[in-house]
Structure 1
Amino acid sequence: MGAIEVTDLRMSYGELRAVDGVSFEVAEGEFFGILGPNGAGKTTTLELIEGLRKPDSGEILLLGERPWPRNDRLLPRLGVQLQASAFFERLTTREQIRTFAALYGVAPTIADEWLERVGLADKADTRTEDLSGGQSQRLSIAIALVHDPEVLFLDEPTASLDPQARRNLWDLLSSLNESGRTVVLTTHYMEEAEALCDRVAIMDHGILLKLDSPAALVRGLDAPVRISVGAGQLTAAEGAALEGVDSADEEGGGLVLTTRQPSQVLTRLAADNRLDGLQVKAATLEDVFLDVTGREYRA
């Protein structure tokens, strides 16, 4: 049995089908990502699994139990970080996390250790209303983890973080997953999903469109590789004449070769000593995401 089993899950708000027949499983110890544009149904799916909302239909098993109606047996086994943080008023950062820790019978020393782990030890005596958006986000994640949950739900956990804080949080989340926790997150950062997730589900308009490992999804796209060579290395005509090259276009002062046979093209460029300024760009999860969901702006 997996940590999470979702079968034909459906949830509507009036005429809007927020979740429309979604099914998937998450294995114990898996790092699972849910991706999609704004309004795709990611957050609603998470809230249904967490037991925060009642589905219109479908079945959810979380650690072998049904999360709705609210299941008191599940609550101590889950950690939940929501998109919008809500803290007790007029408490310091230390007081906040110690209060949540006390609800689970966790010692204050462990709460303080979590402040250290998310880089907030120097803000322990700062009231939470005076924290920056990124600092509040890190505190909410520490609170979700303070009682050592078996399954951790993270809804856009790095949305307000600067690049350095985001990378540090990736390291923390990777270490948590390596220790056996199941982690489910939604994110808009494709690089984040590629770096962290064992598998990702891509949703749009409430429907699950793709589900696989990031590497398998990229391979399935069958997108060409772009090879950029520095200025003066190759003319457009010479590039187009190389065996295995689909197109050769001048770009940014250099030349970009598009190919589905990169090994052959790179071998030829090396043999001709034309590797100065060379860059190779393969398809990424972002390319898969855009191919599946389209490129139009979303509100």
Structure 2
Amino acid sequence: MNSTPSPIASESIASARRTLSIEGNALRALHDRLDDSFARAVGMVLACEGRVVVSGLGKSGHIARKIAATLASTGTPSFFMHGVEALHGDLGMLTARDIVLAISYSGAASELLTVLTVAKRMGIPLIAITGNPQSQLAVNADLHLDVHVEQEACPLNLAPTASTTATLALGDAIAVACLEARGFSSEDFARSHPGGALGRRLLTLVRDVMRSGDALPVVRAETAIPQALEEMSRKGMGMTIVVDEHRRPVGIFTDGDLRRLISARGDIRPLAVADGMSPNPKTVPPGSLAVEAATLMNDNRLTQVLVVDDNGLLLGALHMHDLLAAKVI
């Protein structure tokens, strides 16, 4: 088999490397060019009592939408306002408590200049991100951030490529700087992403997924093994909980305990659950994270764990299948 790349493949790889090299150079130049203007922009965003309204159109509009989404998901209330739609009613979204982040590489987009005029009339600070510090948008903004690039990755130097990469990276830098300044935590992030995997892991509590009430298999220590097996079969948890007269768990009788008891005693029909149960079962409180219960179960090679209140009274039980169904693990 010939492993030599075809001419087309070689040209494609070379083109890709040129693109990545040009865009990497643009990011390095932006890195070196950052100055006090960036710190001031972060300070303005942190001081904002309303929302950061990110606006742009064309390719800059796509980048603006992503920056707004990143800000919002990392603790900075934000939304995207399209530069054209702004002139047809969406300017009504603005309040005097907001900040506008306007993005235009040329700095000459007429729609954003109109947004600038309205923002100034309302007393709303406007931060401009452009590639032309001498542009009308840059000069008239309250603060300007320069994303100028020496060349686009496009061989015609026309399609926004390196410039949009630099703009997106600058937006990420603003969002992360604000995140760190606020002490934004993984729990905060999860609250903004309750439908995602992280949200489920950090927001789902044991009480949200545990089995309780009539769904719990429960017997007393003196219950005969045959009756205990009937309870196990009805409730489908592969075990039954053994409780005392106060409904405190004193043991657990599992399928594994049953097999060991049969191996040791043969005829188990005359025996009580107490003869084969595992004492001192592992327990968790209902307010603990479900992922913590999963860790406990995994570390101790358990399929089930019991849920008790502060007084040790039985509240529920959690099966590994419950955690899988809730997509906690």
> Normalising by the residue count of structure 2, what TM-score does the alignment of the two structures yield?
0.22
- The structure with the largest helix share of the pair is 2
Q: When the two structures are superposed, what TM-score results if normalisation uses the length of structure 1?
A: 0.24
- Going by fraction, where is strand more abundant, 1 or 2? 1
